[in-house]
Structure 1
Amino acid sequence: MISQALTTYRGECKLPGGKLVAVSVQLNPQVFLTRGASHVEHCQIDGDFFIDAARDQLNILKALEREIENIVLPLAEGDINGRLEAVINRYKDSYLIGINANTITLALIRALTQVPGYPTNTIDGHLHTRTDLLDRILTLDDFTNAQTSDFFDRWGQLPLNVIMDVEREPAEQIGLDLAMLQAVDRGEQPPSLRIWQWASPAVVIGRFQSLHNEVHVARAHELGFTVVRRMSGGGAMFAEPDRVITYSLYLPISFASGLNRTLTYYLCDVWLLKGLEHLGITAGWTGMNDIASPKGKIGGSAQRRLPVHPGRVGAFLHHDMLSYSIDADKMVQVLNTSDEKVVDKAVRSAKARIDPLERQTRLSRKQLTEALVATLPDIAPATRLSVVNEQMAVQGNELAAKYFCSTQWTASII
């Protein structure tokens, strides 16, 4: 008699220069041993990737999960890839950013090969990604004169409000991000840059990450960290108030008109890299959304888009967190960083991966933040100081209470 017990298997794959995707499947391993064929009872896809969608971001993700659950296994690797590619192609208004059918297939195969008795003759190896490709540091010098001129022209024409914000709790920060993004989309808020001040330590996970695979939740709480899930994709943020510099840009979609998703990340960080350069700090882009020095990662960014709709101008949020200093031992107690995530970064651990800004400056975190903001008028002359008005703060708190304070929201990819 075959046991009815289900077992969970998980596989991961990182696209070199891109993002990580994980596939977790539940199935009965006894079926392969006795019948040689089965199907997945439940599938979950998660990771630090991004999705841009005109409607619900989760639609394409759920469709891919259903397709995997409908596959009769074993099936050749190439056939799985073809079926997932077909699903992606059906969603014309959704864009997977940092992953593709190839990497999802490889993550699935890596999960299935842990199943006792799973036939290895279905694995052809043609899809395996290279792990010898290291993320290269890019600077503005790597772009053509036309590209850099275009970046500076966009910034030069931007009427930008700069907000040196007050301290806020983690869920309030995320709620305010959403409130300000929606206000720009309605045409009620001018383009704005907000410098965050954290009121307490936090771990902020990306929209599509698995909470318990990314965070040691009990240990995080023991150490006084609030764990929240934000509305944008990307990876987990480890934030201690006096050790990070965090900012958000709220911009009309027209600011990035004609640019692909990766170039949009670069465009939004131009002010930051020019400011760091002015202050004698060496930094550039690595991958699609990280800021790094030649010695390691300094920070990372994430975006969320609201497409143009009737009565809406379209808007996007770009937020970034930089490590000024870091307690790396505490970080590895709180975050569960996959080996797959650092395999193409020429480092042996998550601790070695970080190169905080204090190693390149004698300025305090506060001084460095103010100095960076002071360089903004050099590329955005129409910059002016502003504040978060009371109505916006109330809307942010309401959104925080509705979504980002919710245990269900934080624990689940819903």
Structure 2
Amino acid sequence: MHGEYKIPGGKLVVVDVEVADGVLSDVRVAGDFFLEPDEALPAIDAALEGAPADADTAALAARIDAALPAGTVMLGLTTEGVATAVRRALARATDWRDFDWQLIHDAPQSPVLHMALDEVMVEQVALGHRPPTLRVWEWDRPAVIIGSFQSLRNEVDQEGVARHGVEVVRRISGGGAMFAEPKSTITYSLAVPESLVSGLSFQDSYAYLDDWVLGALADMGIKAWYQPLNDIATDVGKVAGAAQKRVAAGRGAVLHHVTMSYDIDADKMVEVLRIGREKLSDKGTKSAKKRVDPLRRQTGLPREEVIARMIDSFRGRYGLTDGEVTGAELARAEELVRTKFGTPEWTARVP
């Protein structure tokens, strides 16, 4: 069995392993990391040899920690990363390059249709009717998008959204509310087979699925990192937030969508969202306006150029073919708008 894991902010770990009588055997760890002394690598292999095949990531990492020679130095490598690569091998996880990725980047659409398309895309991937897909959103009007489990009255200032003509919708994933206007954000969804994140914890899957965009930002001169649980940050502030939804149908799939602040109107944002003190204190700031830092200022590039460079970065890493929403997918999404996402019952399901 073969497993690979790119450590967020680090290097690639590769593990080849067999299982005999319920324990690991013939373990070989490799990768492009840096490790001193040389004796540390065979010590890692030996520590994993004979480990129970059902041991979790923490237990495997503890075995490695206990076996490392004194003074071991790891660069781009962690014992948790090695353990994760083992778990991915045992789960027969797939890699980004195992798939033919499709890009969808359509004309601006309504917020409620975007909500429906996300559900349709991930269901179609789960059922094997659609390849893994990167979908870049364009908005045709301002919107507040609240998380699946958020209270409508607690998160949305109804007077503010009415005054500014902002549409309020609820998505299928958890997480917090966001404010978007045409050209003010960069929003994208990944609809991926569950096998891509097999062997990863929920938290690790966020970092894993965000890693490509960290590379894209680095190519534009922005040093960014994953900030648990679901943010992307830089030295000067948060630039993006992610959310996920798991689908059990078929072979299973994961929806991972991200909204990046390009040029947010912070004054308007605080008039349409109720951002409480507890939320702000958790982020280490006293002002909601300082919670996001626009990519426009950090890159100095037009929004369209930032998107183009992100797409090029993804294509260079994993391959990407231009595609489109099929007629059947659009019809299903429009049906979901009528029966679910466009209804008061869904939007106010948590009043």
On whether the aligned pair clears a TM of 0.5, the verdict is: yes
* 1:247-396 equivalent positions in 2, closer than 5 A: 247-307=188-248, 312-381=250-319, 383-396=320-333
Q: Secondary structure, in 3 states, of the residue corresponding to 1:259?
A: coil
Separation in structure 1 between the aligned mates of residue 342 and residue 138 of structure 2, nearest angstrom: 18
- Equivalent residue, structure 1, for 2:349: 412
Aligned partners of 2:189 and 2:256 also within 8 Å: yes
Q: Secondary structure, in 3 states, of the residue corresponding to 2:271?
A: helix
Q: Secondary structure, in 3 states, of the residue corresponding to 1:321?
A: strand
- Equivalent residue, structure 1, for 2:147: 206
Taking structure 1 as reference, are residues 175 and 352 closer, same or farther at Cα in structure 2, changes over 3 Å only? Answer: same
Tell me the CA shift for residue 294 of structure 1: 1.8
Q: Secondary structure, in 3 states, of the residue corresponding to 1:346?
A: coil
Separation in structure 1 between the aligned mates of residue 270 and residue 199 of structure 2, nearest angstrom: 40
Separation in structure 2 between the aligned mates of residue 143 and residue 224 of structure 1, nearest angstrom: 49
- Equivalent residue, structure 1, for 2:176: 235
Aligned partners of 2:99 and 2:131 also within 8 Å: no
Separation in structure 2 between the aligned mates of residue 245 and residue 143 of structure 1, nearest angstrom: 32
Tell me the CA shift for residue 273 of structure 1: 0.8
Q: Secondary structure, in 3 states, of the residue corresponding to 2:286?
A: coil
Q: Secondary structure, in 3 states, of the residue corresponding to 2:240?
A: strand
Tell me the CA shift for residue 408 of structure 1: 1.7
Separation in structure 1 between the aligned mates of residue 311 and residue 271 of structure 2, nearest angstrom: 33
Separation in structure 1 between the aligned mates of residue 100 and residue 325 of structure 2, nearest angstrom: 17
Aligned partners of 2:122 and 2:254 also within 8 Å: yes
Tell me the CA shift for residue 218 of structure 1: 2.4
Separation in structure 1 between the aligned mates of residue 115 and residue 196 of structure 2, nearest angstrom: 22
* 1:79-118 equivalent positions in 2, closer than 5 A: none
Letter in 1 for 2:324: V
Q: Secondary structure, in 3 states, of the residue corresponding to 1:198?
A: coil
Counterpart of 2:103 (choices 162, 170, 190) is 162
- Equivalent residue, structure 2, for 1:60: none
Taking structure 1 as reference, are residues 261 and 388 closer, same or farther at Cα in structure 2, changes over 3 Å only? Answer: same
- Equivalent residue, structure 1, for 2:334: 397
Separation in structure 1 between the aligned mates of residue 85 and residue 161 of structure 2, nearest angstrom: 42
- Higher mean alpha-carbon deviation, 340-349 vs 205-214, is at 340-349
Taking structure 1 as reference, are residues 141 and 297 closer, same or farther at Cα in structure 2, changes over 3 Å only? Answer: farther
Tell me the CA shift for residue 148 of structure 1: 9.1
Letter in 2 for 1:164: H
Separation in structure 2 between the aligned mates of residue 242 and residue 284 of structure 1, nearest angstrom: 24
Separation in structure 1 between the aligned mates of residue 179 and residue 85 of structure 2, nearest angstrom: 32
Separation in structure 2 between the aligned mates of residue 148 and residue 275 of structure 1, nearest angstrom: 24
Residue segments in structure 2 that go unaligned for 5+ positions in a row: 1-74, 89-93
Separation in structure 2 between the aligned mates of residue 285 and residue 148 of structure 1, nearest angstrom: 19
Tell me the CA shift for residue 411 of structure 1: 1.3
* 1:161-200 equivalent positions in 2, closer than 5 A: 161-200=102-141
Give me the identity figure in percent. Answer: 41
Cα displacement string for residues 47-84 of structure 1 (whole angstroms, at most 9, x for unaligned residues)? xxxxxxxxxxxxxxxxxxxxxxxxxxxxxxxxxxxxxx
Q: Secondary structure, in 3 states, of the residue corresponding to 1:376?
A: helix
Separation in structure 2 between the aligned mates of residue 367 and residue 173 of structure 1, nearest angstrom: 22
Q: Secondary structure, in 3 states, of the residue corresponding to 2:106?
A: strand
Tell me the CA shift for residue 412 of structure 1: 2.0
Letter in 2 for 1:396: A
* 1:58-97 equivalent positions in 2, closer than 5 A: none
- Equivalent residue, structure 1, for 2:40: none
Separation in structure 2 between the aligned mates of residue 141 and residue 339 of structure 1, nearest angstrom: 37
Separation in structure 1 between the aligned mates of residue 306 and residue 85 of structure 2, nearest angstrom: 25
Tell me the CA shift for residue 141 of structure 1: 5.3
> TM-score scaled to structure 2, two decimals?
0.73
Q: Secondary structure, in 3 states, of the residue corresponding to 1:265?
A: helix
Separation in structure 2 between the aligned mates of residue 358 and residue 283 of structure 1, nearest angstrom: 15
Tell me the CA shift for residue 287 of structure 1: 2.1
Letter in 1 for 2:248: P
Separation in structure 2 between the aligned mates of residue 356 and residue 256 of structure 1, nearest angstrom: 30
Taking structure 1 as reference, are residues 314 and 237 closer, same or farther at Cα in structure 2, changes over 3 Å only? Answer: same
Moved over 6 A (4+): 147-150
Tell me the CA shift for residue 271 of structure 1: 1.4
Tell me the CA shift for residue 235 of structure 1: 0.4
